[in-house]
Structure 1
Amino acid sequence: MGRFVRFASPRNVTVVEEQDQELAPSEVRLATIFSGISAGTELSYYRGTNPYFGKHWDPDQRIFRPLGDGTGAATLSYPVDGKGQEEVGVVVEVGADAGDVVPGDIVWGKWGHRSLAVKPADYVGPRRLPAGANPVLGVFSQIGATALNIVLDADIHVGETVAVFGLGVLGQITAQLARLNGAEVIVVDPHPSRLKTAASLGASHTLNADDGPVGERIRELTGGRGADVALEVTGSYRALHEAVRSVSYSARVVASGFFQGEGAGLALGEEFHHNRIELKCSQSSGVSPQLSYRWNVERLQRTVVDLAVSGRLQLEPLVTDIVPVERAAEAFDLIDRSRERVLQVVLQFESGAE
């Protein structure tokens, strides 16, 4: 029997048993070692704030429709199973046609917070970690790909100043990648511990968001010009507004946080309008059309994992808590209530303790 994490209702997490899947000849069975918790999308399931709970998503027209107009039920309802997108596991069984995938291979990917998973061998093959690599690096493949997508969407040039708003896991990785891309990086967050981590990982300047208007301080650091690019990684409308205030005339702001509800605190008639700011969305499901002939989500993921394994991207310092999966409810509560202390919270399964 395997186990998986269930969101039974808002802020109610349980661990449930499930039957093992049968293995087809071209498939392999994975025993999960670690599964990272996303503090963005997953927390919206945990809190019940995801728009899927209150509206109907029309996948054909790609639009949310309010309930009660004949469009059917909400897209999502409790219990919510199978979430989790930052997994790493060990191959424990292979089908007869699994090719060169063998038991003992360490694999990163996406299969939810579950102890056992069956995946096609051609999915597993390109996602194997090199021998000797720390398995925990595998939990960053998805969120790291999102960060790399932000940097690609930002179109950063060597010598530019980039301001990163929000220093959760996604913001920390984004700041490192922006620096690797040739930028001088200014980071903004209200929590001193997160600012300290970012500074240790290469940020040039740290600004506490609670110590006065950020836009003015970024202009002071850039000789009055403002940042060339601002990357919003908070999901806060007020932070997005301050990101707009921080950039120079005709500059770019990339919004990548998962905003919830209506836009209180965002005044688009002010600096956004008067400074001709380009506002661009970046998120995890696909790459920019201009890059799609060369880049896809799998390449984003592999690039981040390769950078981490080589040591050019520092991800291990972002792991603040490793919690046994039996205490998954405590792990989500920790993220929900202690955002100033925690960064990457990881669920550990039995296969990771052997």
Structure 2
Amino acid sequence: MAPGKNEPVRVETIVVPDPGPGEAVVKVQACGVCHTDLHYKQGGINDDFPFLLGHEAAGVVESVGPDVTDVAPGDFVILNWRAVCGKCRACRRGRPWYCFDTHNATQKMTLADGTELSAALGIGAFAEKTLVAAGQCTKVDPSVSPAVAGLLGCGVMAGIGAALNTGEVGRGDTVAVIGCGGVGDAAVVGSRLAGAARIIAVDIDDRKLETARAMGATHTVNSRDTDPVAAVRELTGGFGADVVIEAVGRPETYHQAFYARDLAGTVVLVGVPTPEMKLELPLLDVFGRGGALKSSWYGDCLPSRDFPMLVDLHQQGRIDLGAFVTETIGLDDVEKAFARMHEGDVLRSVVVL
């Protein structure tokens, strides 16, 4: 639980209500420590403290409320933070991954004294149990490791989806990925899965670049020492990449992505900016380069379609989701995991309960 802005997280007793209509209680088995959790702790998303952090989670449905039919007690599920409504204008047009009315549980979890908790991304899974909307539960093959499956709940899905769904990387394409943390490395994996011919990983940390190469990058660029736009152009015959995926969420790296793409190429923003950030680009350059500038919401995924598919690919050995798990930890170690995240020496710490 994060009690206030930039305050250390701590373990508290929480009260989880019985599920009401459309809700489910899930016994959490594993939950990744995501940078978004750190954003919440730092007040970078909103100031609705205290927060119950954790959202990259997998576990077993313990109980469901009235009228819930899609999941049942005993189902092994990955939790997602975009439970589609099926009724909004996006859903009615057959584009549920853009759902404009995603929802969470109606009831609130609380501290023992009755203080209401704000669940991170409507999940709050750094806990033995959590209350979610039933639509946030996606059934997958129960033989997969919970520590691996949970990562599809946010960062890994966001990166793979940025390549496959938003960027629509195709066979033979050239791809540049700027920022090689968990999301960026997942974009590398997604680009490789799509059949990209050349995948250029860009970061300022050689350790992260080594990991990106192990994930499938064909070339690496340390942008601390080298102009990344020039480097990407040199590696693509002077043209720039067909798809550039920006996994940092900063104006400087977005500029790099914009100018590192080919004419009529695609830029995908999947890195999460903070509210005060501003972007300035010459409008003539936006017009003159054509192509597409896209933002990727959760990798534009549809959990019911994409989570089972990616688990199956992992089980077949076609992608290695386990490579994203650097360490497994206990609930008491989340604050240390945030510190390690700052130091850049973990891809994902995963809380195992």
Fold shared, TM-score > 0.5 on shorter chain: yes
Report the Cα distance in structure 2 between the residues aligned to 1:140 and 1:18, rounded to whole angstroms: 24
Match of 1:44 in 2: 39
Aligned pair 1:153/2:166, yes or no? yes
Q: Output one character per residue of 1:98-153: Cα deviation in whole Å (capped at 9) or x when no partner.
A: 899565x54322432221135677865x514332x222111112223322431211
Aligned pair 1:141/2:155, yes or no? no
Aligned pair 1:12/2:8, yes or no? yes
Report the Cα distance in structure 2 between the residues aligned to 1:276 and 1:27, rounded to whole angstroms: 45
Instruction: Give ranges in structure 1 of 5+ residues lacking alignment.
Output: 54-75, 288-294, 350-354
Aligned pair 1:330/2:340, yes or no? no
Q: Output one character per residue of 1:187-216: Cα deviation in whole Å (capped at 9) or x when no partner.
A: 111111111111112111111111211111
Q: Which amino acid aligns with 2:191?
A: A
Report the Cα distance in structure 1 between the residues aligned to 2:71 and 2:267, rounded to whole angstroms: 45
Aligned pair 1:130/2:142, yes or no? yes
Change (3 A) 1:266 1:322: farther
- For 1:246, which of 251, 254, 260 is the aligned residue? 260
2:326 partner SS: strand
User: How do 1:44-193 and structure 2 match up within 5 A?
Assistant: 44-50=39-45, 53=46, 76-81=47-52, 83-90=53-60, 101=72, 103=74, 106-110=76-80, 111-112=123-124, 113-118=126-131, 126-131=138-143, 133-143=144-154, 144-151=156-163, 152-183=165-196, 184-193=198-207
* Structure exhibiting the larger radius of gyration computed from Cα positions: 1
2:313 partner SS: helix
Contact 1:109 1:138 survives alignment (8 Å): no
Change (3 A) 1:174 1:7: farther
Report the Cα distance in structure 1 between the residues aligned to 2:189 and 2:149, rounded to whole angstroms: 18
2:149 partner SS: helix
Question: How far did 1:262 drift?
Answer: 4.1
- For 2:224, which of 210, 214, 224 is the aligned residue? 210
**Equivalent residue pairs, number:** 306
Q: Which amino acid aligns with 2:177?
A: V
TM-score where L is the length of structure 1: 0.76
Q: Output one character per residue of 1:17-67: Cα deviation in whole Å (capped at 9) or x when no partner.
A: 02343367998754322111221x2221111222xx3xxxxxxxxxxxxxx
1:44 partner SS: helix
Report the Cα distance in structure 2 between the residues aligned to 1:119 and 1:311, rounded to whole angstroms: 31
Question: How far did 1:280 drift?
Answer: 1.3
Match of 2:235 in 1: 221
TM-score where L is the length of structure 2: 0.76
- For 2:345, which of 341, 346, 351 is the aligned residue? 341
Instruction: Give ranges in structure 2 of 5+ residues lacking alignment.
Output: 81-122
Report the Cα distance in structure 1 between the residues aligned to 2:253 and 2:70, rounded to whole angstroms: 49
Change (3 A) 1:21 1:271: same
Report the Cα distance in structure 2 between the residues aligned to 1:78 and 1:134, rounded to whole angstroms: 32
Q: Output one character per residue of 1:51-103: Cα deviation in whole Å (capped at 9) or x when no partner.
A: xx3xxxxxxxxxxxxxxxxxxxxxx422223x322112245678999899565
Contact 2:33 2:334 survives alignment (8 Å): no
Report the Cα distance in structure 2 between the residues aligned to 1:42 and 1:79, rounded to whole angstroms: 13
Report the Cα distance in structure 1 between the residues aligned to 2:234 and 2:194, rounded to whole angstroms: 23
